[in-house]
Every structure is written in C-alpha cells, then in structure tokens.
Copies of this chain bind each other. A is one copy, B any other.
C-alpha cells in the first residue's frame, strides 16, 4: 500500500491523516485489528516511534484503542468513524477554499466555479 510522504508537513501528521483515511474508507474495518506498529512503520518507511506517535494521536480521538499485549483495534463506533470522515472532508474543503482565495475567488465564487466544471477539466 502506498505511503506518500513529503516534507511540507510533519511526518506524524501525514501518517495520522493517512491512517484516518484508511479507517474511514474501510481499508481497516471497524472492530478489526490494526497491523503492528513495527509493521506499519516499515511499510511507511518511517521510524516505529514516529508511527507510534501518529497512532497515539488517533487513539485520543477514540478511533483506535490499544490493548497492551494484544494489539490495536479500530473502534466499532460507526458514529465516530462517520465524524472522522466529515472531519477529513472539512479539511479538504478548507484547503480548497484557501487556495481558491489566493486565486481571487470568494467561497461562493469558488463553489460556483467548481459546480460548472466538466468531468475532465484539465
């Protein structure tokens, strides 16, 4: 699985977003066990500590819970997962609005512009 990381943001935040995305999209289904920290870290080619930090932050949001020796598990709370999905979506929308504002589009203008786009506009 692809772990694309860049230097525009701290790695642990990017890992956090990617993990959240995978949970929200069902790559890691509700109630299932997460791969071990060390496995994920190797996949993403980062230090286990960095991956651990990303996982811990997700744990605070309740999306994950760790069982000392048994591993980490995804929450079965679908409401929480749906909230997370909306959180990620809000993030994307905000980025979009920010960048459009740089180009001189108000939020309304940006929405109107996007609404008139053809399927493959570039």
Whether the pair A103, B117 counts as a contact (CB closer than 8 A) is no
> Nearest Cβ in chain B — how far from A36, in angstroms?
21
Q: Which of B8, B85, B113, B117 contacts A6 (CB 8 A)?
A: B8
Report whether B114 and A96 are in contact in the complex, using a CB–CB cutoff of 8 Å. yes
Interface residues on A, range: 20 to 34
Pick from B85, B103, B111: contact of A115, CB below 8 A: B111
Query: Of B102, B103, B122, which contacts A94 at CB under 8 A?
Result: B122
Residues of B within 8 A of A24 (CB): 103-104
Residue ranges of A at the interface with B (Cβ–Cβ < 8 Å): 4, 6-8, 21, 24-25, 85-97, 99-100, 102-105, 110-111, 113-115, 117, 121-122
